[in-house]
Structure 1
Amino acid sequence: MQDASAWARTHPLTIVFTALVLLVNVALAAWCALTGGAFPPSFGRVSYSRLAAGMLYVVPSALVLVAHPLRLLIDVPALLAAGSVPESRFGVAKTIWIALLCSIGGIAAGMGVSVMVNGHSPAWGSLVRFGYVLGPLTLAVGPLMAASAFSSLMWRRRIRVVTYAIVAVFVLYRGEPGDYCIAFAAVFGHLLGYLMAPAAVQEAFPGDGASQNEDSPDMSSLDAGGARPRITALEARKMVGVLSAVCALGPLVALASPMHHGPLSTLGLLLGPNRLDYSRLHECLTDAGHADCFLQYRVQRVSMPGGVIVSVLPLLLMLVVAYGLYRGRRTAAALSVLLNSCTVVMALVYCFMLPIAQSPDGLRALIAHGAVRAAFATAMLPLACAILVCLFRRCFPLRTRRGRLIESAGLVGVTSLVLCGAYLAVGITRPHEFTIEPTFAMLLADLPQRFLPIGFLNGIQPYFLPASAFTSVVYQGIGPVFWSVLTVAALWCFTDAAMEGREERRHASELVEHGGESMSFMGTWGGNRYWFSSSGRSAIAYRVVHGIALTVTGPFGERGEWSRDLREFAMFCAEHSWTPVFYSVHEGQRDELAAMGFSSLDIGTEMVVHPAEWQTRGKKWQDVRTAINKAKRVGITDVMCTFDDSPLNVQTQIVDISEQWAEEKSLPEMKFTLGGVDELMDPRVRLLYAVDTDGVVQAVTSWLPTWRDGEVVGWTLDFMRHRDDSPNGVMEFLIARMAERLRYEGAEFMSLSAAPLAGISVMTMDGEPSGVAFLQHVLMAVADIIEPVYGFHSLFRFKRKFQPHEESVYVAYPDSAKLPQIALAVVQSYLPDMKPADAARFVRALGR
């Protein structure tokens, strides 16, 4: 309640305007109900004739009124959300004049374009003469789009993509003049924000470098040369899921307007005055030629509840698929492409093939009567959704168990066979219970129609109709049952908790809690395979890239088996024709591998702090003391918890901070031994975040546990993110507070982890040829190339502030002939989503 009260005090314009819209519409709706008048009244409707006659007073009322009182359930929350963003950016006065400019331009352009696009339609002419409301969203969308230019990169993308998607759905599926006005108001707001933004953005978002110490870890925007920002996989799959949900709801939008577009537009007849004339329908079925037979077929289809349900259930399935996309399910991506492709094909069949088969005038007449425009409007969004999912297919990595996929497919297949068999059996055994006794060929021809939405059947004359209650249930019921089973089966796949490899990962997670080294917990992350010892008490995490079995540190589990594990894993790799490469191993395991004939390369330095020795006295600790004292002065405190235990608003802020940081990089987010948001959600991982007096999370770190004999003995730093405008020294403050906490807990060590590819040097063993320098040079070149983005060297210097013990980590390999493959495997493991175009674009940015 305190938060809501504070928000209301800082957004008076949004509160007042939303309350005005709500009160005016409710009062007018009650008055119209009492007097028997139409809502909205004529003075709230805009028409071309009224504007031409100088009746401009209808414009303000048309901007406040809604088309139907129930629209307030959508418009009021939308106004509160859309209005608060520009008001917080611009203030009251500037928001008002931006709204006026964008709405005036949007109305002028929208009304003109709507006439050019649909002015030939008789229904459009009736609507224009009758008048229409513009709605309050016409006023709100312009300032919202203008404010997006003053938002962070992530929120700028979210606002624009979602807004344009919703506007496109309204224009394509409903297409009223008011929808065109909203669309152009959004465009004008976008352009206005673009023109206003350059100077204002520099004032609102100061340069990243100015707010950071020279030796602070570079967690802010270091987008080399202004290279194009990227979208992270997490944000991409969320956006694709939201867009898919918006597109799935598009056909339902047509129900709220007399202007219907798309194959499902026949559902709008349920809201109209049409009534079924059964005597006329009987004459049509007996081949009597009447002009209104086609209308009777349509009304008969929508008068059947089963037909209506068949038209709605595919939309529900698309919403379930959108949920799967949002959760990152690969099966959902495949199903989305399939369903949208089928929609495109059916739209083309509906708009071209069926009319051509029934029209003697051929394709030319169809084009003249708008078939191309109808096909484009119907198929564009499904086609765009299918292409979008294909482009971002790598953002959906979560697999469903093969067994569950087979079970789901079998359930759908068996259900469809049973339903088809039941329909044919009823038609053969009870032919007298239909208007016309169907033959087996007629039943087979009619069978596909039972599963199609009724909008696709508008141009198809039914062979027969059910004449009894039993046949009507079968006739109408098999379609809804099929789509219901398909929807439930899809949801069952998308909620599969036991994904492929889940059992192996679960077992590895249990072993790492028995014993491991400082970075062993990274082996429990997604994307890894697991090798288990013959006893099952120890394991090695690895991934195979270009024939290289690259491990994530060394063995973990039963410590007494580690030496044998190194040898047996090498034999396991040889059996699979892989080259074993042990990455990020410490000196003890490197020596054991050297005895086996492996060579090694120093790839980084792990910084280890012993909490029992922690102190901040002396000149070397001046920066750390300054950071602690500054945090106390400005009211910043530290909070220790897990991700699940943190409040929802804290979780949201942490995700936003991470996504903003990652998206402003010119290269994809790194993985392998570097965790992201997904890795934060493990309940065993600790979060330590800094929060100010206003509840704003300024920075966050994550700490991975290390076990010995089932007891946690130390913690390793992994995730480090802070806001672009966070106070200097906030990271030093968090790490210092973690050291103080661990000293109190009695932990043996606090590892600041290793800065990947920083401090590389070469060490050969047993006469290894100098060709090993190739791998060194490749990794050093990669480190130098990505240094402006990820700042590993600055991170290396930053960690030295805490006076740690430095321990080298190595990559050990058996064959120098495999050095090119090893270099490629390491780079691809850290940057699995990097494409050649990304590398070329980044190199060009460095050149600038």
Structure 2
Amino acid sequence: MTDTTADNVKPGEPVGSGNPVSPDEPVTTNEHAQANGQQDRKPTRNEQPRNKKAKGSSEHGRFRSFGPVMRDVTGWVRSHPLTVSFAVVVLAINLAFVVWAAVTDGVFPPQPARISYDKLVQGMLYVVPLALLLVMHPLRLLLDIPVLLVAGSVAESRFGAAKTAWVALICSIGGIAAGMGVSVAVNGHSVAWSSMARLGTVLGPLAVAVGPLMAASAFTSLLWRHRIRVIGYAIVATLVLYRGEPGDYCILAAALFGHLLGYLMAQRDEEHMQWNHGSVFETRRMLGIVSAVFALGPLVAMSSPIHHGPLSTLGLLLGPNSLDNTRLQQCLNGANSMDCFVQYRLQRLSMPGGIIVSLLPCAFMLAVSWGLFKGRRLAAWTSIIANIGTAALAVVYYLVFPLSQSPDGMRALIAHGAWRSALFTALLPIAFALVVAMSMRCFRLKTSGRRLATALTGSLGALIALCAAYLIIGLTRPNEFTIRPGMGLLIEEMPRRFLPIGFLNEVTPDFLPRPHTIASAVYQGIGPVFWIVAILAALWCFTDAALEGHEAQAKASKLVEIDGESMSFMGTWDGNRYWFSPSGNSVIAYRVEHGIALTVTGPFGDKTEWEQDFRDFIAYCTEQSWTPVFYSVHAEQRELLASMGWQSLDVGTEMVVLPAQWQTRGKKWQDVRTAINKAKRDGVTDVLTTFEQAPLSVQSQIMDISEQWAEEKSLPEMKFTLGGVEELLDPRVRLLCAVDADGTVQAVTSWLPTWRDGQIVGWTLDFMRHRPDSANGVMEFLIARMAERLKDEGAEFMSLSAAPLAGISVMELENQSAGVEFLQHVLMAVADIIEPVYGFHSLFRFKKKFQPQEQGVYICYPDSSRLVQIALAVVQSYLPGMKPADVVRFVKALRD
């Protein structure tokens, strides 16, 4: 029931003006007649030309709508001359060489465009410009040109054309020198690398673009700075690990040089140098994207003709090697050399099942990445287990098994590169698993236990059935293999049927199936079938519509629209559990921490049940062996609980403004009047909308403002009764933004609705953030404008909410027990510690500018002996990112 009249208001346009019909949009004669009560009247002869004219103007209007787009494109081209010019030069040169190669029957790219370590050592520097301008294949232009335009525009808009050119030159030269040196140091011992050093490789324009992009990231907002660096380094690392071309090492080196230059050029405050805590919303998105980039690594390997990265086994699909069946048989009979390992790889790649079983794990990890992106806790645990399993298998299959089978011991493994493959294969997944584990607080969506059990049972059943089929075929059709396998050999070989080929590079197969046999179909097929089942099971779990608490949350979201208090809407947020009254018409939202059932305000829904709800919920908690504690309740509910023998403590003060009495006259309102007048002079307007209906540019700016705010805090983002970006997504939540004349969002506030008898009667302030460089008074301006809007709408109240844990120190301590004093002192200490970070006391004083009515909010508890657990529960609820052990040590230190 939010007001949508201002959802599409542009900056500077008065709110509530409606959406008038465009003058270019015709109104047909029949529609005009219906508007005048003449539904059946036919148009006269004089009206016919007017209709034709209207039709023509409609078509003209449709074409004219492209005008603003073309002006935007033209303006962008004019403001980025270096980027556009360089992209045009790259495109033109590549197309010219493609045509030349087609006419002369030559090769593309030509040999003079291929750079190598040997050419650089010999002083053949003339190959560098062409190596940076040409691409390996003409189709690469479809990827490189858009990336070049995006990266170049980001840098040029920050540095200007001249400085961007210098940064690109420095990073490119430094990247080539360092990248070529590192690539030779890492792979110089390889025979394949020696031939490649003579032939050379094409670098491509990405080696020019990546340096300025990384340097420019230092001059972007915190949100985009992290996005550019995290995603950029993930892509570059994937290229190095899965392709391993010299150009990939050069791109990595250029990115590092650009990062260093940006760091040196940017002026940064000390507070920006600390370790920052990103918001939950952005962290899980970044982890999902990085996981997807890593999951696509094998496909990247297939695009390389060199395939010399540590994880680039699938690149052999496009390699020049061919299988030598005679040599393969000699290897199976005991011959041992590097050529044998090449034959094993090619034999496995010659079987379709081996290729599919190498690609399906990529699809599985993409599904897991999607789950991470959506915040699924099961996806996080699956990612951790899968990555740790990958690292363990790398050690087993690259080191343990070959070492036990090779007569030359570790010397053979070093010669074959097995140790290098084990190192790189294990380090990346372990590092990513640790990052996901440290960010577990970001993944809150749980899968129902029944669905998870069904998926695990189905996957395990499929695995057992496939293994049984493999053993049966192996024992009943032994003649269809190169040797007659016994039960021991079949069991030893069986785990390899489910692993990607990359793990089996340096492993001697015990036997192989003969082509075109049932044994070959089973040998190749059981792995792909299992992975398909696993992928379907994972997607089924990640798309669980009946998540634990999801249906209850949806039901509670409907009940809050019946009746509630000013902060009842917070009970519909993620992370809460729900207790419903026997009739199902009222509900209490709560969460369990340290044996304490801590509620989010009191009950909401049918108001006639609230008094009984308190008693029934207390009985329910007693059955669960929990101690019920009612948090952020008001005086009326506090008195009810006090009549039942409960004790209470003041935990904040809610500031309530009555819109009907709103005025800004008098000396006390000087700051508010000044803020309103300053906003008018600066061309700042207020725009009322919802996150869903706001333009994409506004959504992006709101996320940027929120991420920058969260990143600058030394503690994790607070939750419980404090909303973040995720809570803005509810279409019932209003957003009031301060937008300047350039369309830049300077500040944003969110407002939560309160219903009575199914009608919205008031709004509560929640989300409240602004840009670091926004003008003083922008928040006063937004709150004042919201009060004026609500006065026009006839709302009963406007709550500025309560600053959590603020105002506690003003409470009298007489007649309080020592335990109560301890709880109060703990909460006061927590408030003092987080005050420099979150400024709740400052927020408390800020809200008093609006001359509100002050209403206390309380925490009510039945048992003083549980005060330590209550303190832990409150702290844990507000700071879910902190570990329980840290909180326990913190409280013990205060107690001592």
TM-score by length of 1: 0.90
Asked if structure 1 preserves the Cα contact closer than 8 Å seen for 2:82 and 2:156, the reply is yes
The alignment status of 1:33 with 2:80, answered yes or no, reads no
Asked if structure 2 preserves the Cα contact closer than 8 Å seen for 1:310 and 1:452, the reply is yes
The one of 212, 236, 241 equivalent to 1:172 is 241
Residues 467-486 of structure 1: matches in 2 within 5 Å?
467-468=515-516, 471-486=519-534
Partner amino acid for 1:137? L
Asked if structure 1 preserves the Cα contact closer than 8 Å seen for 2:242 and 2:311, the reply is no
Tell me the distance in 1 between the aligned counterparts of 2:476 and 2:376: 44
Residues 688-703 of structure 1: matches in 2 within 5 Å?
688-703=736-751
2:170 aligned partner: 101
Tell me the distance in 2 between the aligned counterparts of 1:550 and 1:290: 67
Alpha-carbon offset, residue 30 of structure 1: 3.2
Tell me the distance in 2 between the aligned counterparts of 1:435 and 1:796: 80
Alpha-carbon offset, residue 95 of structure 1: 0.8
Residues 82-93 of structure 1: matches in 2 within 5 Å?
82-93=151-162
Partner amino acid for 1:114? S
Tell me the distance in 2 between the aligned counterparts of 1:403 and 1:371: 43
Partner amino acid for 1:322? S
The alignment status of 1:357 with 2:404, answered yes or no, reads yes
2:141 aligned partner: 72
SS of match in other structure, 1:562: helix
The alignment status of 1:81 with 2:150, answered yes or no, reads yes
2:392 aligned partner: 345
SS of match in other structure, 1:725: coil
2:307 aligned partner: 260
**Compared with structure 1, are the counterparts of its residues 577 and 130 closer, same or farther at alpha carbon in structure 2 (3 Å cutoff)?**
same
Tell me the distance in 2 between the aligned counterparts of 1:562 and 1:291: 78
Asked if structure 2 preserves the Cα contact closer than 8 Å seen for 1:79 and 1:137, the reply is yes
**Compared with structure 1, are the counterparts of its residues 840 and 21 closer, same or farther at alpha carbon in structure 2 (3 Å cutoff)?**
farther
Tell me the distance in 2 between the aligned counterparts of 1:778 and 1:531: 29
Tell me the distance in 2 between the aligned counterparts of 1:296 and 1:651: 55
SS of match in other structure, 1:21: helix
Residues 619-698 of structure 1: matches in 2 within 5 Å?
619-698=667-746
Partner amino acid for 1:78? V
Asked if structure 2 preserves the Cα contact closer than 8 Å seen for 1:600 and 1:765, the reply is no
**Compared with structure 1, are the counterparts of its residues 571 and 291 closer, same or farther at alpha carbon in structure 2 (3 Å cutoff)?**
closer
The percentage of counterpart residues that share the same residue type is: 67
The alignment status of 1:241 with 2:310, answered yes or no, reads no
The alignment status of 1:135 with 2:135, answered yes or no, reads no
1:741 aligned partner: 789
The alignment status of 1:558 with 2:558, answered yes or no, reads no
Tell me the distance in 2 between the aligned counterparts of 1:231 and 1:616: 38
**Compared with structure 1, are the counterparts of its residues 579 and 731 closer, same or farther at alpha carbon in structure 2 (3 Å cutoff)?**
same
**Which whole-Å deviations, capped at 9, do the CAs of 1:509-535 have from their partners, x for residues lacking one?**
222121111111111111222222232
**Compared with structure 1, are the counterparts of its residues 266 and 6 closer, same or farther at alpha carbon in structure 2 (3 Å cutoff)?**
same
Superposition CA RMSD, Å: 2.9
2:436 aligned partner: 389
1:814 aligned partner: 862
1:63 aligned partner: 132
**Compared with structure 1, are the counterparts of its residues 488 and 10 closer, same or farther at alpha carbon in structure 2 (3 Å cutoff)?**
farther
Tell me the distance in 2 between the aligned counterparts of 1:106 and 1:189: 9
2:190 aligned partner: 121
Tell me the distance in 1 between the aligned counterparts of 2:644 and 2:338: 90
**Compared with structure 1, are the counterparts of its residues 800 and 765 closer, same or farther at alpha carbon in structure 2 (3 Å cutoff)?**
closer
Alpha-carbon offset, residue 282 of structure 1: 6.8
SS of match in other structure, 1:615: coil
The alignment status of 1:404 with 2:451, answered yes or no, reads yes
1:614 aligned partner: 662
SS of match in other structure, 1:461: coil
1:210 aligned partner: none
Tell me the distance in 2 between the aligned counterparts of 1:113 and 1:632: 58
Tell me the distance in 2 between the aligned counterparts of 1:518 and 1:419: 58
Asked if structure 1 preserves the Cα contact closer than 8 Å seen for 2:813 and 2:821, the reply is no
Tell me the distance in 1 between the aligned counterparts of 2:201 and 2:310: 24
The one of 561, 567, 574 equivalent to 2:622 is 574
Alpha-carbon offset, residue 661 of structure 1: 0.4
Alpha-carbon offset, residue 836 of structure 1: 8.8
Alpha-carbon offset, residue 643 of structure 1: 1.7
Asked if structure 1 preserves the Cα contact closer than 8 Å seen for 2:349 and 2:355, the reply is yes
Partner amino acid for 1:757? L
1:832 aligned partner: 880
The runs of 5 or more residues in structure 1 that have no matched partner are 203-220, 844-848
Asked if structure 1 preserves the Cα contact closer than 8 Å seen for 2:646 and 2:861, the reply is yes
The one of 762, 767, 770 equivalent to 1:722 is 770
Tell me the distance in 1 between the aligned counterparts of 2:802 and 2:771: 23
**Compared with structure 1, are the counterparts of its residues 421 and 381 closer, same or farther at alpha carbon in structure 2 (3 Å cutoff)?**
same
Tell me the distance in 1 between the aligned counterparts of 2:841 and 2:336: 84
SS of match in other structure, 2:266: helix
Partner amino acid for 1:409? L
Tell me the distance in 2 between the aligned counterparts of 1:472 and 1:608: 76
Asked if structure 1 preserves the Cα contact closer than 8 Å seen for 2:657 and 2:799, the reply is yes
SS of match in other structure, 2:578: strand
The one of 334, 353, 358 equivalent to 1:306 is 353
Tell me the distance in 1 between the aligned counterparts of 2:864 and 2:814: 12
Alpha-carbon offset, residue 431 of structure 1: 5.3
1:152 aligned partner: 221
Asked if structure 2 preserves the Cα contact closer than 8 Å seen for 1:434 and 1:466, the reply is yes
The alignment status of 1:43 with 2:90, answered yes or no, reads no
SS of match in other structure, 1:566: helix
SS of match in other structure, 2:312: helix
**Which whole-Å deviations, capped at 9, do the CAs of 1:7-31 have from their partners, x for residues lacking one?**
3332221122122222222331232
Asked if structure 2 preserves the Cα contact closer than 8 Å seen for 1:601 and 1:762, the reply is no
Asked if structure 2 preserves the Cα contact closer than 8 Å seen for 1:264 and 1:456, the reply is no
Tell me the distance in 2 between the aligned counterparts of 1:399 and 1:808: 35
SS of match in other structure, 1:810: strand
**Which whole-Å deviations, capped at 9, do the CAs of 1:254-293 have from their partners, x for residues lacking one?**
2233443568634222212334455766787788999966
SS of match in other structure, 2:806: coil
Partner amino acid for 1:71? R
User: How many residues matched?
Assistant: 821
The one of 698, 720, 731 equivalent to 2:779 is 731
Alpha-carbon offset, residue 91 of structure 1: 0.6
Tell me the distance in 2 between the aligned counterparts of 1:812 and 1:306: 64
1:491 aligned partner: 539
Alpha-carbon offset, residue 559 of structure 1: 1.0
Tell me the distance in 2 between the aligned counterparts of 1:360 and 1:602: 76
Alpha-carbon offset, residue 753 of structure 1: 0.8
SS of match in other structure, 2:769: strand
The alignment status of 1:453 with 2:500, answered yes or no, reads yes
Asked if structure 1 preserves the Cα contact closer than 8 Å seen for 2:690 and 2:731, the reply is yes
Tell me the distance in 2 between the aligned counterparts of 1:413 and 1:332: 18
The 10-residue stretch of structure 1 (720-729 or 765-774) with the greater mean CA deviation from structure 2: 765-774
Partner amino acid for 2:527? G
Tell me the distance in 2 between the aligned counterparts of 1:193 and 1:655: 24
The alignment status of 1:14 with 2:83, answered yes or no, reads yes
The 10-residue stretch of structure 1 (469-478 or 811-820) with the greater mean CA deviation from structure 2: 469-478
SS of match in other structure, 1:654: helix
SS of match in other structure, 2:189: coil
SS of match in other structure, 2:197: helix
Alpha-carbon offset, residue 662 of structure 1: 1.0
Tell me the distance in 2 between the aligned counterparts of 1:779 and 1:307: 61
1:755 aligned partner: 803
Asked if structure 2 preserves the Cα contact closer than 8 Å seen for 1:297 and 1:462, the reply is no
SS of match in other structure, 1:809: strand
**Which whole-Å deviations, capped at 9, do the CAs of 1:385-439 have from their partners, x for residues lacking one?**
1222222222222211111111211221222233334444445555565566655
SS of match in other structure, 1:397: coil
**Which whole-Å deviations, capped at 9, do the CAs of 1:642-670 have from their partners, x for residues lacking one?**
22222222222111111110110111111
1:215 aligned partner: none
**Compared with structure 1, are the counterparts of its residues 286 and 808 closer, same or farther at alpha carbon in structure 2 (3 Å cutoff)?**
closer
The runs of 5 or more residues in structure 2 that have no matched partner are 1-68, 892-896
